[in-house]
Structure formats: C-alpha cells, structure tokens
Structure 1
C-alpha cells in the first residue's frame, strides 16, 4: 500500500520507559519535511495528469476534425455538376491539419514520458525519504535502548557499591560496638576488683581511737 502524507503525519513512535529515546522536535521536523516532499510530488503529479488530459482532449478533437474534412474533399467532386478549380483547397487544409495532429501526438508522447519520469523520480525520492526516516528511527530506538541499558547497568553498579559500602560500614560499627563492650566489661571488672579491695582493707583496718569530730 502506497505511503500517503497522512500516514507520515499520523505515524507514532514508542517512547522508552526510562527516558525519551529521541528528540521529539527533531522527529516532528523531519517528518514535516518528508510530508512536504510527498505533497509536492503529488501536486506535480496532478499537474502533469491535468496537462496530459488536456493534450489528450485536444488530440481527440483534432483527430475528429481531420476525417470530416477528408470526407468533404472526397464527396465534393461527386456532388458538383462540374469540377471547379477551388476543389483542392480542402486538401490543403487537411495537409495543414495533419502536422498539427502529429505535433499534438508528439507533445502527448513527450508529456507521457515526462509524467513517467516525474512519477519515477517522485517514487524514488519518496522511497529514499521513507528509508532515511526508517533508518533514523531505528538508529534513535537503538540509541535509546543502548542508553537505557547503560543507565540500568550504572544504577545497578551504584546500588551494588552502596550496598557494599553499607555492609562495610555495618561491619566496622559492629567491630566498634564489640570493642566498646569489651572495654565496658573490662572496666566493670577492674572497678569491681578495686571496690572489693577497698572494702577488704576497710574491714581489716582497726577502728580509730578518736572519733572524728561531729560524730560524738
């Protein structure tokens, strides 16, 4: 099925999930150019078809006039009582009209050739534009998919690095907590030993003979 300007205008492109895979303004501008080219070719084609129709009508009109003139020339001697010197005149007109018919036929042939040429060039240009648009679209999609893959890989790598850093930090904090707990246990044990030693010394020491002032 032939591609029409409306097909190009109404063409939709799928947008990737992660981000726009192509510049929408650039695509719209490019498609506008494609549509303009196709419409121009269609206008040229319609103009040529109109010229061909006009030349065809002229050729048919001249072809219809030429046989009538020839009939008059042939029948004139039979209808006349006596031949007149003026009789060869229609033959001269017929001879003058035949080059015009040949010229019209040549013009029609040339118009047909030009029509075929412009149609062929228009179809070639249209195909080239469509192929270029499809290639550009495919390239944009490929670039978008490649960019999406790179973004996903980068996000996964960043997440892996963050998890590894978090794991290392947790391990370091656990080590610090273990060291603090060890220090606390050692400190408590040392403090307990010191207090018990002081209590033993206090129990083993003799009572003072003189009471401290204020206790009497």
Structure 2
C-alpha cells in the first residue's frame, strides 16, 4: 500500500515506559517506509523520463526533449532533495538522541534527588527518635533521684525511731531506779524503832537520794544523747536528701538540655537538606518539562516538514506524469 501524506500526518508511535518519548525502533521503521516510498517515486520518475526520451515522433521528440529537459532537472533535484532529507534526518535524529540523553540525565538526577529526600526524612525521624530517647533517659534519672531521696528519708526516719527508742528506754531505767530507791527508803523507815535504827535509816535515805540523783543524771544524759543523735541523723538525712535532689535535678537539666540541643540541630540539618533537595527537584522538574516541550515542538515541526516534503514529491511526480501524457498525446 502506497504511503500518503495523511499516513505521515496521522502516524502515531507507542510511548516508552519509565521515560518520555517514543519507541526508537518504531520511529526508525516508519522512516524506512518513508525512504522506500521516496525511492519508488524516484524510480517512477526515472521510468517516465525514459519514456519521454524514447518518444516515436519528431514532434513528440521535440516536445519530449523539452519534457525530458524538464525531467532531467528533476532527478538532480530529487537527488539533492534526497541528500538534503538524509542530512536533515540525520540532524533531527541526532537532536532526538541528544534530547533523549538529556531527558535520561534529568530522570537520573530526579531519582537521586528523591533518594536524598528520603535520606533527609530518615534523618529527621532519627532525630525525633533520639529526642524521645533523651526524654526517656531524663525521666529515668528523675525517677532514680526520687527513689534515692525516698531511701534517704527512710533511713533518717529509722534513725529517728531508734534514737526515740533509746531515749524512752533510758527514761524507763531512770524511773525504775527512782522507784527502787523510794521503796528501799520506805522499808528502812518502817523497820526503824530506835535512834540507831533512825540513824541507819537516815544513812539509807541519803544513799537513796544519791541513787535517785544518779538515775536522774543518767536519764538526762541519755535524753540529751538521744536528742543529739536524733538531730544529727536528721541533719545528715536532710543534707543527703538535698544533695541527691540537687544532683538529680542537675543531671536532669543536663540531659534535657543535651537532648533538646541535639534534637534542634538534627532537625535543622534535616530541614535544610530537605529544602535543598526540594529546590533541586523543582529545578530538575523545570528542566525536564522544558526538554519535553522541545521534544513536542520537534515532533510537530518534523511532521509538518515531512508532510510538506512528501506532498512536494507527489506534486512533482504528478506534474511529470501530466507532461509525459501530454507529450505522448502530441
């Protein structure tokens, strides 16, 4: 079936996958069809020229000579047009290859930018994870500090209870000694019936008074010692409690500060990298869109020029056929 200008105008190609453009093999096959049709037209023109040159009558020869002269210029023109078309085709093919190479480079660059964007998102997620880990560490340190403070308070309370028990025991011993001394004094007074016994009772009473004074002194000493020990243990417990609480708060503040600083730094870096990647993507997108527009313009221009060329060849062939027919009729 002969190739017509409408076939060239309405020809479509299969779009390639993963990149913009058309299947190179289909384009080459179609161009081969165009070349074959052009060669057929040139052959028909040569045959008609040969018929004109072999005309039987002198008038036909005369007319044919002029037609042949006109036809003689056609092969040269056709050869020139064929060479120009071949050069133009090579130029256009080279331009297509160049645009496809640029498109491939832009696609590769876009994929690289998308990969870098994914890495930036991963870095941001890692920063969030590290921030959460820092917060968890700070909470654990705070809990540990609270536990240590509670333990110190428990030890202080235990020491206070022990001191109170010692004070109560010393007071009980003093009271018992005082009671024993009073009982012994009363017994001595009841059994005394004479002056000698009275003197003995007086000596015994003095001894009881001394014992009571000793017991009171011991009681006071034990009470004072217990109170001193109580105050000492309470002060030590409070001091240890304050130290532990201050250390825990300091450590908590350090961890929170470090975690916040690291989080802000990593988030800032991730955001900066993400902005750069997005800027690169937008730039590459604009470049790819420009390449696609150039390819579309090239396709449209190529179709138009090819249609004009084939139409011109067909017109030349029809004109040659009309001249040959006129010569034969003459």
TM-score relative to the length of structure 1: 0.70
For residues 39-68 of structure 1, the C-alpha deviation after alignment (integer angstroms, 9 at most, x for no partner) is 2222122221222222233345545666x4
Alignment of 1:78-89 (within 5 A): 80-84=193-197, 85-87=199-201, 88-89=203-204
Shift of 1:80: 4.6
Counting matched residue pairs gives 190
For residues 15-62 of structure 1, the C-alpha deviation after alignment (integer angstroms, 9 at most, x for no partner) is x9x624132555544443333232222212222122222223334554
Alignment of 1:124-203 (within 5 A): 124-203=239-318
Cα distance change of structure 1 residues 35 and 185 upon mapping to structure 2, 3 Å threshold: same
Q: Which runs of 5+ in 1 are unaligned?
A: 1-15, 210-216
SS at match of 1:50: helix
Query: What is the CA RMSD across the aligned residues, in angstroms?
Result: 3.3
1:59–1:101: 8 Å Cα contact kept in structure 2? yes
For residues 80-99 of structure 1, the C-alpha deviation after alignment (integer angstroms, 9 at most, x for no partner) is 55343523133224324423
- Structure whose residues are more often helix by fraction: 2
CA distance in structure 2 between the aligned counterparts of 1:138 and 1:72, rounded to whole angstroms: 72
1:41–1:122: 8 Å Cα contact kept in structure 2? yes
1:9 maps to none
1:11 maps to none
The one of the two structures with greater contact order (alpha-carbon pairs below 8 A, sep at least 6) is 2
CA distance in structure 2 between the aligned counterparts of 1:131 and 1:63, rounded to whole angstroms: 50
CA distance in structure 2 between the aligned counterparts of 1:132 and 1:46, rounded to whole angstroms: 28
Instruction: Say whether 1:117 aligns with 2:232.
Output: yes
SS at match of 2:301: helix
2:167–2:226: 8 Å Cα contact kept in structure 1? yes
Shift of 1:191: 0.9
1:45–1:115: 8 Å Cα contact kept in structure 2? yes
SS at match of 2:136: coil
Q: Which runs of 5+ in 2 are unaligned?
A: 1-128, 326-330
TM-score relative to the length of structure 2: 0.48
Instruction: Say whether 1:22 aligns with 2:131.
Output: no
Cα distance change of structure 1 residues 179 and 127 upon mapping to structure 2, 3 Å threshold: same
Cα distance change of structure 1 residues 165 and 63 upon mapping to structure 2, 3 Å threshold: farther
